[in-house]
Homo-oligomer: A and B are copies of this chain.
Amino acid sequence: MTSKRNMVAVSLIGCMLAAYGGEAGLVDYIDPRIGSEGLGRVFIGPCAPFGMVRPSPDCTPSPNSGWLPMPERVDGFAQVHVSGTGGGPKYGNILLMPFSDGLTRHDIYDYRDEETILPCYYGTVFRDSGIKTEITASDRSSAYRFIYPATGEKSLKIDAGFFLGESPEPDAREAQQFVGSEVEILSDTEVSGYSRIRGGWNNGRAYTVYFYVKSDVPFVETATWKGNDISGAKSQFDSGNKTGALLRFPEQSDTVNVRVGISFISPLKAKYNYEKESAGKTFEEIKGDVSSKWEGLLEKVEIDPEAPEEYKRMFYTALYHTMLMPSDRTGENPLWTDPEPYYDDFYALWDTYRTSMPLLTIIAPHRMRDMVNSLINICKRDGFMPDARSGNCNGRTQGGSTADIVIADACVKGVEGIDYEKGLEAMLVDATVPPGGNEEAEGRGGLREYLTLGYIPHGIARAGNRTVEYSLCDFAIHQVAKRLGHNDLSERYLRQSESWKNLWRDDYEHDGARGFIMPRDAEGNWLDRLPFGHSKVQSPTYVYTPLTFEGPWYTPWWNMFFYEASSWEYSLSIPHDVPGLIEKCGGADAFDKRLDTFFAKDYFNVNNEPSFMSPCLYHWIGRPDKSGDTILKIIEKNYNDSAKGLPGNDDSGAMSSWLVFNMAGIYPNAGHDYYLIHTPLLKSTVFNLTDGKSFRIVADGLSDEKRYISKAYLNGKRYDYSTLRHADIVAGGELKLVMSDKPGKWGKKMFKEN
């Protein structure tokens, strides 16, 4: 790898620049552009941590986060978005668009002449209209400042019919579908209404985004529209059509401040959210408030002040990305009211259980507590915990019932304030109640077959990764049951967590590796060829190998044997039983060789979650040096501080939180109480815990040359194990790694006896 770690000069300049701003802090290391282009799809607009409102420009052709780089055309600025998602888009509701024209049309768009993307701030100047738009946001309200050119009309469109991902095909899969909308001009400074949309990636039920718009400049003219009819009417009721409002400000008003309160339950709540967060505050005050919130969170982790600026930007932006979602919608749930917290946009736990949730467990355990309690409550109210949830609706499931792992992670790490008995009940719903026709939305599809055959036979969608992931989820149940003293249950699910072995085809060889998770039919036969399509005449089949991603022609991922990955990847994704996996793979040497092949030939897929932990598998054969080497190479090759600095969909910060841990030199195995210690990218990382304690990881002498851990000290005492217990972090202290230029004997043993 090229040296970034030693670019001290750049680092110093960065520090000076930061200092120059006086109030500058860690927030200035956030660069919302990182991961915004390419596959990353991160949200680039201003927003509060876990905020409900996320305003951003929305570009044609409607990408997942709203924004696309210039020169894409901009349709306006919608108030609700998600970050880093793949598949069909969700949200993009309540679009504001300033323009310079009379109130005679609503098909308005423009192009950006310039654009400023900063933490808690977005600004752009439109090419045609010359209007400057500035945006900041609080939790449930966004703030706009429109600066109009001195000459020309000063108009604003509020579009309650806009949403992302509209498709001309009726009921297209994963496409959002319009349900209804409404607008009402309440006074010469106020507009209210809503947008009601269903569908999207999770095929969710209808959700409604209510808004309240308040301008500091009175309108001199207003119009509203329904469908294609524009009129002077003060309101448009919901008749299943798209509606919106057109507003004109006086000629002399160059600067117009517009605030938007948002609510998922009602128009008056949207107004209340505006009043509570935005009324009486300047644009700068709002920006300052949200910036302070972020600063407080980023301060939970302090990294080597002499680290290269690029690393700081990568690290703190990744930390920021981790805390964009899920959305804290406590008090904003239209489905039920109770004292429990309510989080939505778990999008998806399949992505975030691995590193995002574990990261919160360290730096914001009260958030983890609230999210887990929200999940348990969703099960109580909706019947199942989500694997993914958005727009107040569970859906979809990608593989396992991964909320189980989130609860287990909280449980084994002792997160307080959770009724783990109730958590276990919710997990057992996943493990015992077939979701019937709803297996796309929640629970475990193919559960009955899984329980009777011990695996999911080919023919049921995603049979391969479901079997693998249900095994892990069963282990999660074992973990929680064990800690609660339910020994029978604990043992039963420990046994059941071996189900992955029932799809392990021992004698199957591929590229030097022996044994793979492979398709098997309900009668127990291994399948070398898989049926394709529904033709009864031809019965077409295709060859299935551990590297097959698609059938002979396009096959939806969802109906394949594996979801979004190959057998090479999933056959190494047994995080709860790596020793068992090594044995299945033919022992340590064969496993070592197999991992080498996996990374050398790029069978490893850096851009998706199933392989997240694979680099650390070397730990289990006493080679944490190879784990570290592999991780450093992956970061070097795939991560940077550019707009394309994330190699895959950030998935609500999943990819980013992976980076945070690995830069710090520890990696969690979700559902277990330990972290795998490996060579960090940072010379020091301090986790400031909520109780005033802190835990520091120091890599003494770390350089491009000295990249191997030769010795380690935990709180001053020699520490030869390659894992660190969560309890050691919580207790506060220091893990000191002494670096060397070659691999040594450190870390041959993984676990300290409890």
Contact = CB atoms under 8 A, between A and B. Distances in A.
A455 interface: no
A443 B196 CA distance: 28
Nearest to A243: B268
Interface string A435-450: 1111100010000100
A456 to B, nearest CB: 15
Contacts of A272: 237, 239
Contact of A177 (B236, B238, B336): B336
B206 A334 contact: yes
Given A383-B437, A429-B437, A433-B436, A240 B179 contact: no
B237 A194 contact: no
A249 interface: no
B436 A198 contact: no
Nearest to A205: B335
A235 B272 CA distance: 11
Given A268-B184, A269-B239, A384 B337 contact: no
A551 interface: no
B436 A337 contact: no
Contacts of A436: 433-439, 443
A743 interface: no
A266 interface: yes
B429 A433 contact: no
Nearest to A186: B186
A266 B179 CA distance: 12
Given A334-B196, A436-B438, A443-B437, A238 B268 contact: yes
Nearest to A206: B335
A312 interface: no
A336 B438 CA distance: 19
Interface in A18-71: none
Interface string A176-199: 011110101000000000101010
A337 B429 CA distance: 33
A623 to B, nearest CB: 45
Contacts of A205: 335
A267 B179 CA distance: 16
A10 interface: no
A235 B448 CA distance: 52
A384 B436 CA distance: 11
A265 interface: yes
Interface in A375-432: 383-384, 429
A437 B448 contact: no
A378 to B, nearest CB: 13
Taken together, the copies of this chain in the complex come to 2
A437 B394 CA distance: 14
A156 to B, nearest CB: 21
A619 to B, nearest CB: 39
Interface in A501-533: none
A112 interface: no
A331 interface: yes
A331 B239 contact: yes
Contact of A238 (B196, B236, B265, B448): B265
Nearest to A272: B237
A206 B331 CA distance: 15
A287 interface: no
Most chain B CB within a 10 A radius of its CB, from A179, A236, A448: A179
Given A180-B337, A205-B335, A206-B336, A238 B269 contact: yes
Contacts of A184: 268
Contact of A437 (B178, B208, B266, B384): B384
Given A194-B266, A196-B334, A434-B436, 19 more contacts: A177-B336, A180-B265, A180-B266, A208-B334, A235-B268, A237-B266, A237-B272, A238-B268, A239-B272, A267-B267, A383-B438, A384-B437, A433-B437, A434-B434, A434-B437, A436-B437, A436-B443, A437-B443, A438-B438
20 contacts: A179-B336, A180-B265, A180-B337, A182-B266, A182-B268, A196-B265, A205-B335, A208-B334, A239-B269, A239-B331, A240-B337, A384-B437, A429-B437, A433-B436, A433-B437, A435-B436, A435-B437, A436-B437, A436-B438, A436-B443
